[in-house]
Amino acid sequence: MRIKMIRTTFDRNPIEFYEDQETRNQYARIFGGFAWPSDKPGFATVVAEEMIQHPTQIGSTQRLFVLDEFESFEPPKLLERCAELQREYLIQGFYGRTRALPQQMEMLAQWNRIRRASQLSVLNIHSAPHSDDGKIFFHINLLLMRLDPGTMNLFGIAEKRLNSFLDEMNPEDLHKATDTAFPAVASLGYAVAALDGNPYDPLGQTGATQAITDYDLFNHS
């Protein structure tokens, strides 16, 4: 197991965080993003939120790191790899589109039934914020905000396949982009939206959420 959970206290309150056994980086939360295959391979992304240095320094501008990714045209292979990633990184939840996808969700249910019968861990995919219709303009804007050179706080993309998928996007078509056309970008956006939509809150405090702002996708390098 690459990631280890560490339990400690702050001001007598219990706090949990995650430590990468290879890099010793510490993370507050680790989420997964998921997009089903269609005309393009389905995609899974693992995104970690840095552990704040002090529990009172809570906000939505904490740095995010892409730890892993996987793509496949075959749903069983994609689901199996997600289960492996879940164990390896102690992912707290996968997020994707769950509405208006009856065949895919039945496939997931059947896959989980087989897993339970074999006493294997199952995979739950939670509904990502603003994912119901499959349009990902909202999620692209979240990524652009974090990839803007002036406020750069999303890392680990340059060496990943995700980087090439981001570069392939035409700025004129961003407003009509969908998860089926850009599953890799959708999976990343779903994980980031889930993290941003539920700010890290170890002590019962409320984190601020930044407003969405348009940025130039092609100036992130």
Over residues 7-26, the pLDDT tens digits come to 888 778 888 899 999 999 99
From 11, 45, 6, select the one nearest 25 (Cα to Cα): 6
In Å, what is the CA distance from 163 to each residue of 6, 115, 130, 181, 217? 31, 33, 23, 16, 11
DSSP 8-state secondary structure symbol assigned to residue 198: S
Give 104-142 pLDDT, tens digit per residue: 999 999 999 999 999 999 999 999 999 999 999 999 999
Question: 3-10 and 154-155 as β-strands: parallel, antiparallel, unpaired?
Answer: unpaired
> Global pTM?
0.86
Q: Please give the helix or strand (H or E) that residue 141 lies within, else none.
A: helix 137-147
Q: Tell me what pLDDT residue 61 has.
A: 66
Q: Which of 25, 37, 28, 22 is nearest to 10 (CA)?
A: 28
| pLDDT for residue 208 | 30
Q: Which regions of the chain are under pLDDT 70?
A: 53-61, 201-221
